[in-house]
Amino acid sequence: MAYHELGHALVALSLPGTDPVQKISIIPRGIAALGYTMQVPTEDRFLMKKTELLNKIATLLGGRAAEEIVFGDISTGAHNDLSKATDIARSMVKEYGMSATIGQVYFSREKRPLFLEAGMPAGGEYSEATAEMIDKEIKELISVQYKRALDILQEKKDVMDKGSEVLLEKEKIDGEELKALLGIKGDQAPKSLNP
């Protein structure tokens, strides 16, 4: 679990425009969370750029990528991360017009209460071919960002190992301690971590 959470944090610290990492913990929270990486936005935001959304997906996939690198295997621990990453990618393709392949088209259904849809025939709002294109584009976005997370973490495996030792000993690390492990001072972003 330590490597999983460090994977999220290291990817987040490596990419511009991500929310700052405040804390990493391997203390279980609730039923499903075996640990967490807390990122807190520095300001209220209503709009996000495409690059910021891609970086968010890569950060979410950092935990799974860390597991693959360290253990050569993956666990069910990324269930929620995969759900969130897929939701972002789906919105990018179907709602925000952020796909070069699909184009500047809105494909999401209008959100209506379920009781209004009772008894109405279920009809597709676009063709099966378009649905396949959308699915392929979502999968491609996720695959590219997963590869990006893998590349970042393979380059920083030594930092992951050091951070894991600290995290296993202390059960949590704050953002400043993690930056110190990376040799980052203040709000400085290390050039070697930016792709």
Identify the structural domains of the chain with CATH numbers, from first to last: 2-182 (1.20.58.760)
d(CA 37, CA 84): 14
3-state helix, strand, coil in the chain (%, to 5): 55, 5, 35
Mean pLDDT confidence for 118-145: 85
pTM to 2 decimal places: 0.83
Point out which residues pair with 68 in neighbouring strands: none
- pLDDT > 80? residue 160: yes
Which tokens sit at 161? Answer: 């190992």
d(CA 114, CA 79): 27
pLDDT tens, 172-187? 888 888 888 877 765 5
pLDDT level of residue 147 (50, 70, 90 thresholds)? very high
- Concerning whether 5 is annotated as a catalytic residue, the answer is yes
Catalytic position from the list 5, 67, 68, 137 = 5
d(CA 193, CA 104): 32
Which residue bears the tokens 């990453």? Answer: 85
**What percentage of the chain reaches a pLDDT higher than 70?**
78
pLDDT tens, 14-73? 998 788 887 778 776 655 556 767 766 656 667 889 999 999 999 999 999 999 999 999
